[in-house]
Amino acid sequence: MQKIAGISVVIPNYNGVELLPIILPAAEAALQATLLPYEIMVVDDASTDLSVSLLQQQFPSVRIEVIQKNGGFSKTANRGITAAKYPWVLLLNSDVKLTPTYFESLLPYCTHENILGVSGQIVGWDTDTIQDGGKYPVLQGAKIKTSYDFVPTGPVTTASFPCFYLSGANAFLNRVNFLAIGGFNESFSPFYVEDTELSLRAWRLGYTSYYEHRAVCRHRTSSTLGDPARRKQVERIYNRNKYLLHAIHLNGIYLFSWLVQLKLELLFRFLTFRWAPLYSFVDFLKLIPAIRQSRKNLRNLQRAGKLPSVPVLFHQIQQTLNAQSIELFKR
């Protein structure tokens, strides 16, 4: 295995007392298999359950960072990754369980230059049904689509598969490069699409993301989205953050085309009494100063030459992936 200084596992947590006793031993077993120094850190985002007490009493070796006011995923993840002491950080959701050999096929990526990180395959908690594979870039008109995944169809040995973005559920990150590009954009708080924006920003700044099919972890699907009120809230935040993604990263004719496309869609929603996207758009307009700042930050981080446009970048990733044996599926 590739020798590095060590691995930090950072777990953002909000009311995860039920699953922490399951995922923490699994993470430790996977880390021990690497024979490398390691740490496990739980960043608690103002939980209202007994998460912190559980950690203090049953997992004394786990580092605990407590946020007093709930800030959402991007703020919690940034806090943990900034505080991590090792150069490679696995950002792990509190409902994701690692398999014992999870890191075995990830460690060779630590030698790659200009890498943001690598994500593994996500399957069901009790089944091997694939929930998430590698993220495949699709531009539909001027809309960035985030729901297309790919998996290799042939034997995977040493092949490297670039991917559109790293899932925030299991992203193995180069900490130095993550911090160099500014970490997660906290305008996307409380959740959703921040992992897409991070990787897209990294690609445009010259840092690659990869998918490793042989690294497998298991995900416990949430049942909370069955609540209608909760589902509406999530849809409102998700739509707002999709708008943010486009406004930050599209330019020229593609930005103009997306705005026209968006206005037509919103008009249709209004005429059919479907209000959720309209509420999302109002929320989006409140973030225009943050959008301007994000676009300025991106230009300031530019290392050399001109920032590649999203269409050009997507075409390059597609060409590389299409030259290999892969199968697409839509989540």
pLDDT of residue 304: 72
Q: Which of 84, 94, 3 is nearest to 55 (CA)?
A: 94
pLDDT of residue 222: 73
Tell me the β-bridge partners of 9.
40, 90
* Cα separation, 319 vs 313, whole angstroms: 10
Q: Which of 73, 116, 74 is nearest to 95 (CA)?
A: 73
pLDDT of residue 215: 97
Tell me the β-bridge partners of 144.
139
- Report residue 300: phi and psi, to 5°: -70, -30
Tell me the β-bridge partners of 326.
152
pLDDT of residue 2: 54
pLDDT of residue 106: 96
Q: Is the dihedral of CA 223, 225, 229, 230 positive or negative?
A: positive
Amino acid symbol at 318: Q
Q: What is the residue-wise DSSP string for 148-193?
A: EEEEESS--SS--EE-S---TTEEEEEHHHHHHTTSS-GGGTTSSS
* Cα separation, 166 vs 194, whole angstroms: 10
Tell me the β-bridge partners of 134.
150
Q: Is 88 helix (H, G, I), strand (E, B) or coil?
A: strand
Computed over every residue of the chain, the mean pLDDT equals: 94
Q: Flag residues of the chain having pLDDT under 50.
A: 1, 224
pLDDT of residue 226: 60
Question: Could you give the angle at the alpha carbon of 92 between the alpha carbons of 90 and 93, nearest 5°?
Answer: 170
Tell me the β-bridge partners of 210.
118, 162
Per residue in 257-307, pLDDT (tens digit) is 999 999 999 999 889 988 889 999 999 999 999 999 999 999 999 877 789
Helices (H) and strands (E) in the chain, counts: 10, 15
Sorted by sequence, the CB contacts under 8 Å of residue 327 that are 6+ apart come out as 150, 151, 152, 153
Q: Is 111 helix (H, G, I), strand (E, B) or coil?
A: helix
pLDDT of residue 229: 80
